[in-house]
């Protein structure tokens, strides 16, 4: 298996460092509904994770929630509700969206506000080692103390200064020094620290969480290409400076961004389509195929035509699943081994899902031909389901509840009722969902939505 690492700028043979793959993927800042740009990234890393498991590796997967942030504080002030309550609501909403897209849950979802002790430990360690300094209650990292700062983005410190939007604070020793601990402002959520009351900077939480749950070095660190600089660049220098060990992550994987016209899809640009809205029109399989039809490192353009093509593809695959052998005693049997080999070769080459899908659709066509001619295909269909469902995460169920506008609206209504603490009304909506074939399970990590398959 070969994968492209942003750090080396080339494809590398995958070599495991320990007895299990340690994988960390940056999560969301939960202050609004997740959009299909988020869906793109987490579908990609879900398939990568599934394929690593399929290839025989054990894997531990961590994904965080940045549940304290300027955007969360601003939104909570505007709505007049506590920041923690807002973040919890949208964290649960995000997990419900991931369930609806058939994205496997992470092994753990640490939250920034739950890891303050570890964050302070790492910041203090950086201060003690001379890599960070306190100024007016905030703590900053000294980028000039690290000779290879910029190695992930493949840029020099001077070029990064020229191209970056820099908030030059009078307390910084250097304009590119970044915040590890942020002194609190009046009325903001804050925690006590050796430098006074404050809260974590954006970058430090991921280092602290990765160190706590995966150890000092990990195998794969993932996220969108927009996180390469400054977020992941800063993660590297603060992690390696704290532990004294390199590399912090052996392979850095970054997905391309979803574009709406000429711009990337984002909340700040106001051009987003939420996952909930997308699921009212399309099934989870359609959304997954839309994403997987493009190589994960390439930008992906949103268009109605692309979604319609993916929808037609999902329907073709569902029809293949519905085919049954008419003659179980046939002496001829379809050999799926060549298609499986092509699929694996494609995925082994930096998770080339467009080529893997091509092999899957070729196998589907051969299964349909076998069904038409009376050739046996039960074994081939088993291979088809293994690749489509276990690796690509497609449900291919004719009874898929996703894409049902009524059900999606009920799910959204229930979340809003729970937010308002109207428990009786929320339970009534749950009963309506159950009658429609959808089970809603409230877990410690959020709301899990499970289709009830009818036999």
Give yes or no for a contact between 170 and 258, defined as CB atoms under 8 angstroms apart. no
**Is the confidence at residue 446, as pLDDT, over 60?**
no
pLDDT classification of 261: cutoffs 50, 70, 90? confident
CATH code of the domain covering residue 338: 1.20.120.640
What pLDDT is recorded for position 348?
98
Are 68 and 179 part of one and the same domain?
Answer: yes
What pLDDT digit, counting tens, does each position of 321-372 carry?
989 887 667 788 999 999 999 999 999 999 999 999 999 999 999 999 999 9
pTM: 0.87
Does a structural domain hold residue 213? yes
Q: Which domain holds residue 321?
A: 282-391
Residue of 411 and 181 predicted with greater confidence: 181
- DSSP notation for 144-186: GG-TTTTTTTT--HHHHHHHS-----TT-SSTT-EEEEEEPPT
Question: The CATH number of the domain where 26 resides is what?
Answer: 3.40.50.620
The single-letter DSSP state of residue 103 is: P
Residues 227 and 323 in one domain: no
CA distance 431 to 440: 9
Cβ count near 148 (within 10 Å): 10
255 shares its domain with 116: yes
**74: nearest Cα among 111, 114, 29:** 29
Considering the domain architecture, whether residues 77 and 168 belong to the same structural domain is answered as yes
Give the end of a domain, one of 211, 230, 260: 260
Residues 143 and 223 in one domain: yes
- Distance (Å, rounded) from C-alpha 397 to C-alpha 95? 21
Residues 362 and 416 in one domain: no
d(CA 54, CA 384): 14
Tokens 């269909």, located at residue? 381
- Give the separation between CA 335 and CA 445, rounded to whole angstroms: 43
Mean pLDDT of 417-437: 86
CA–CA distance, 69 with 203 (Å, rounded to integer): 11
For residue 4, tell me if it sits in a domain.
no
Do 169 and 127 fall within a single domain?
yes
Please indicate, yes or no, whether residues 161 and 308 belong to a single structural domain of this protein: no
User: Is residue 199 assigned to a domain?
Assistant: yes
Say whether both 121 and 202 belong to one domain.
Answer: yes
Tokens of 94: 């995000």
Question: Is residue 162 a part of any domain in this protein?
Answer: yes
Q: Is residue 267 part of a domain?
A: no
Report, in angstroms and rounded to the nearest whole number, the Rg of the chain calculated over CA atoms: 24
Encoded tokens for 368: 């349909």
Decide if 131 is inside a domain.
Answer: yes
Question: Residue 208: inside a domain, yes or no?
Answer: yes
Q: How much is the pLDDT for 222?
A: 98
Contact 382, 335 (CB under 8 A): no
Mean pLDDT of 304-310: 94
231 secondary structure, DSSP code: I
31 and 128 share a domain? yes
Same domain (yes/no): 47, 84: yes
User: 283: which residues sit within 8 A by CB, 6+ positions away?
Assistant: 311, 314, 400, 402, 403
Same domain, residue pair 194 and 326: no
Domains held by the chain: number: 3
Q: Does residue 86 sit within a domain?
A: yes
């Amino acid at each position: 298996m070969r994968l492209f690492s942003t750090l080396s700028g080339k494809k590398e043979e995958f070599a495991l460092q320990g007895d299990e793959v340690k994988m960390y993927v940056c999560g969301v800042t939960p202050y609004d509904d997740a959009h299909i740009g988020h869906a793109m990234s987490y579908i990609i890393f879900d398939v990568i994770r599934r394929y690593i498991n399929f290839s025989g590796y054990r894997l531990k997967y961590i994904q965080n929630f940045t549940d304290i942030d300027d955007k969360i504080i601003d939104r909570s002030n505007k709505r007049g509700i506590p920041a923690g309550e807002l973040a919890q609501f949208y964290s649960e909403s995000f997990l419900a969206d991931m369930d609806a897209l058939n994205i496997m849950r992470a092994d753990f979802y640490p939250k920034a506000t739950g890891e303050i002790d570890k964050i302070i430990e790492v910041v203090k360690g950086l201060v003690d080692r001379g890599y960070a300094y306190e100024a007016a209650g905030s703590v900053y990292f000294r980028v000039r103390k690290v000779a290879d700062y910029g190695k992930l983005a493949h840029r020099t410190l001077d070029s990064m200064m020229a191209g970056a939007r820099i908030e030059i604070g009078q307390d910084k020793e250097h304009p590119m020094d970044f915040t590890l601990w942020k002194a609190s402002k009046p009325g903001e959520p804050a925690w006590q620290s050796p430098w006074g009351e404050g809260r974590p900077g954006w970058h430090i939480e991921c280092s602290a969480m990765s160190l706590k749950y995966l150890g000092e070095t990990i195998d794969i660190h993932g996220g969108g290409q927009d996180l390469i600089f400054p977020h992941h660049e800063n993660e590297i220098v603060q992690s390696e400076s704290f532990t004294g060990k390199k590399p912090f992550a052996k392979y850095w994987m970054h997905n391309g961004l979803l574009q709406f016209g000429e711009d990337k899809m984002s909340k700040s640009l106001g051009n987003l389509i939420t996952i909930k809205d997308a699921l009212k029109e399309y099934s989870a399989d359609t959304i997954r195929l839309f994403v997987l039809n493009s190589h994960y490192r390439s930008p992906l353009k949103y268009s109605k035509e692309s979604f319609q093509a993916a929808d037609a593809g999902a329907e073709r695959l569902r029809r293949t699943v519905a085919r049954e052998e008419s003659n179980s005693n046939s002496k001829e049997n379809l050999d799926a081994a060549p298609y499986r080999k092509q699929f694996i070769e494609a995925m082994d080459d930096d998770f080339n899902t467009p080529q893997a899908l091509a092999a899957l659709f070729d196998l589907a066509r051969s299964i349909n031909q076998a069904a038409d001619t009376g050739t046996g295909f039960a074994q081939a269909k088993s291979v088809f389901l293994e690749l489509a469902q276990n690796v690509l995460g497609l449900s291919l169920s004719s009874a898929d509840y996703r894409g049902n506008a009524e059900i999606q609206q009920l799910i959204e209504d229930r979340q809003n009722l729970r937010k308002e603490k109207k428990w009786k009304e929320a339970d009534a909506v749950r009963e309506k969902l159950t009658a429609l074939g959808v089970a809603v399970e409230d877990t410690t990590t959020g709301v899990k939505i499970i289709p009830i398959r009818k036999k």
